[in-house]
Homo-oligomer: A and B are copies of this chain.
């Protein structure tokens, strides 16, 4: 192998990174609590629970990256004394702290919903008074897929919200943006400063978890250059290397940034088949210091998550043109255990495929609606 990349985390994102790295003769190692993780089949997993685990991990690779945005900064600080990490520590630190993230968006003139820092019951009451209702109260750190959040719709919920989230210490109250849909933009920046952006994905959720993404997001020609501008500001400001994701709300007043993820993203899984070069390969290329690949779309693509229970593989693969990606994870309610990629010829075929898929998937998600591409 030509080079080894050490990845903080060993889940499905690490697995798909390592799959993309292999044809480039790049091997990955992983730092994960359980050595029986989705990435394990593709490279050495060093347990983060083992004595000297971090040092063994640092010794295992030439250059480092991550698939987990809650990678402990303390571990990163030990690493970067000796080895390079892409993306940079600063991007990770900001993405781990919602107030820092909003401050960065403000600094770079990227619109965000009005927000307030909340660190006491009084400041929560004041935030409600200033922002109006509804608001979303979130912990400034942690939380994932809708966890660590409270949607405050009426003033009589203030005490309950504080009781639930107050113990977390530092909170952020955000105005509840009225949006028509949620989109995400994914971009990659190389070590030479080159930036390439994939088309916007339109994302649909079910019970707070991404259900499916449509790419390019329908009717997004006007939004694409704006989103591209925002993410490029972030990438250049942070001197970022690798893939960055920015989640955005489409509102009557244009795009509002929701949050960024300093990593490859579920809404970019479509790119394995749907783009000339996937988010995974381009992330690996960037981290390894190689030229970036084309982010052009091969064909409009829909990515559907498999959540909680596995469908029968033979049912999925019988669908015309369907690609199946399983993560070798055990079934558990609300857990992402795989995804399906469809590349229909037109909206009519997409509708047909989605209706077939809705019958096949044990948890039909949000697929009942008619979609268009």
Contact = CB atoms under 8 A, between A and B. Distances in A.
Interface of A: 1-2, 19, 22-25, 27, 41-43, 276-277, 285, 289-291, 293-294, 296, 298-299, 313-314, 317-318, 320-326, 328, 343
Contacts of A19: 19, 22-23
A343 B299 contact: no
Contacts of A296: 321
Contacts of A291: 314, 317-318
B326 A24 contact: yes
A285 B317 contact: yes
Listed residue (A289, A291, A294, A298) with the most chain B CB atoms within 10 angstroms of its CB: A291
A294 B293 CA distance: 25
B314 A290 contact: yes
A293 B276 contact: no
A172 B16 CA distance: 48
Contact of A293 (B24, B27, B317): B317
15 contacts: A1-B328, A2-B326, A19-B19, A19-B22, A22-B41, A23-B325, A25-B328, A41-B43, A276-B321, A291-B317, A291-B318, A293-B317, A294-B320, A296-B321, A298-B299
B290 A313 contact: yes
Contacts of A320: 294
B324 A24 contact: yes
Contacts of A325: 23
A98 B24 CA distance: 37
Which 3 residue pairs of A and B lie closest in terms of their CB atoms, listed nearest first? Answer: A25-B326, A291-B318, A23-B325
Contacts of A321: 276, 293-294, 296
Contacts of A299: 298
Contacts of A27: 41
Contacts of A313: 2, 24-25, 290
Contacts of A24: 313, 317, 324, 326
A295 B16 CA distance: 23
Given A42-B42, A289-B314, 18 more contacts: A19-B23, A22-B41, A22-B42, A23-B324, A23-B325, A23-B326, A24-B313, A24-B317, A25-B313, A25-B326, A41-B42, A290-B313, A290-B314, A291-B317, A291-B318, A293-B322, A293-B323, A294-B320
A350 B33 CA distance: 48
A155 to B, nearest CB: 50
Contacts of A25: 313, 326, 328
A323 B324 CA distance: 21
Nearest to A43: B41
A24 B321 CA distance: 15
Contacts of A298: 298-299
Contacts of A277: 323
